[in-house]
Amino acid sequence: MQNMLQELGKTSIKVSDISSQYWCEKQMELRYRFGEKITKEIKKGKAIHEALEDEVNVPVMLEPRNYSDFMYKSLYTSWLSLSSLMEKKRGREIQIYGSINGYKLVGRIDQLQMEDGKVVLLDDKTTANPKKPSDSQLNSNRVQLMVYRKMLDDICSGSYAESNFVMSYGIDRLVMSNEFLMQLRAIGVPEELHSFSAMTDAFFLKYRSIGSLSNTVKIRYIDQSTRDEIDTYRFEYSDEAAQEIITHILKYWNKERAANPVPESEKWKCNRCAFFGNECKVWWPQKTVL
């Protein structure tokens, strides 16, 4: 029998999927089945993330031609961001890989920063509504950070290492295009890093060198219109909290249960959902009393 990942035609679980499972699991599944609508808010949020990245990272002029090029670029730019963390105390847009119970896990960390000698994980959330986030919003964002922090722990401790990554992604079979290799030379990527094995080793080695991880994780909410910070929330990471999240979400991916819709107390979320009344009618009959 297929697991949910196979049924949805996916090869890995994104960390943002896990966060979405805590907002509305059914909505997350419907997005994969019917496609996501790119709203104005999503475009604005992306622009803010790009502007924040430009503040810290030097733009890398590489244009991937195929999947292998794309994968290399991701490793290389993340390696540069990790170097920036060590040199300038801040690195942004860092790719992270991991595994839970045989499922590939992938994500992109917004920011790592040094505070009092420890590495702190920070996630930026942009919002069109400058009010404080709801408890439910905060919880689904907190879940994302807990999973990232666990993945960081796994990489920094060596429990998820080069060998796991190479095997999961078939890295030793990937071949970069000649055009892309020429681009690497043109922008001055050191010759000794022009292979996947060297880049993979450099990427994991850099992660293992970032130093001690703080248990404090932060979520920063940013107003989409003014780009002002609304507030920053702090949470404490614990292995137990991460394990609880993993146990909960795996029941869905293992097909031990169907996707959960929102509970009745949260049916206000349906009014903002593109699937309400169409692909999802869980709370539709009650719409008039919402």
Residues that bind ligand SF4 (CB under 6 A): 24, 26-27, 30, 261-262, 269-270, 273, 275-276, 280, 282-283
Nearest alpha-carbon partner for 211 in 290, 261, 161, 157:
157
* DSSP for 79-99, written as a single string: HHHHHHHHHHSEEEEEEEEEE
The distance in angstroms from the start CA to the end CA of the chain is 39
Torsion, Cα of 99, 102, 103, 109 (10° steps): 0
107 or 261: whose CB is closer to ligand SF4? 261
Helix (H, G, I), strand (E, B) or coil at 54: helix
The CA distance from 269 to 261, in Å, is: 10
> Taking the complex as a whole, how short is the minimal distance between the CB of residue 266 and ligand SF4, in angstroms?
8
92 or 269: whose CB is closer to ligand SF4? 269
The CA distance from 251 to 95, in Å, is: 26
36 or 179: whose CB is closer to ligand SF4? 36
114 or 282: whose CB is closer to ligand SF4? 282
181 or 274: whose CB is closer to ligand SF4? 274
> Taking the complex as a whole, how short is the minimal distance between the CB of residue 286 and ligand SF4, in angstroms?
11
> Taking the complex as a whole, how short is the minimal distance between the CB of residue 139 and ligand SF4, in angstroms?
15
Q: What is the DSSP letter of 65?
A: -
Helix (H, G, I), strand (E, B) or coil at 157: coil
> Taking the complex as a whole, how short is the minimal distance between the CB of residue 134 and ligand SF4, in angstroms?
14
> Taking the complex as a whole, how short is the minimal distance between the CB of residue 129 and ligand SF4, in angstroms?
17
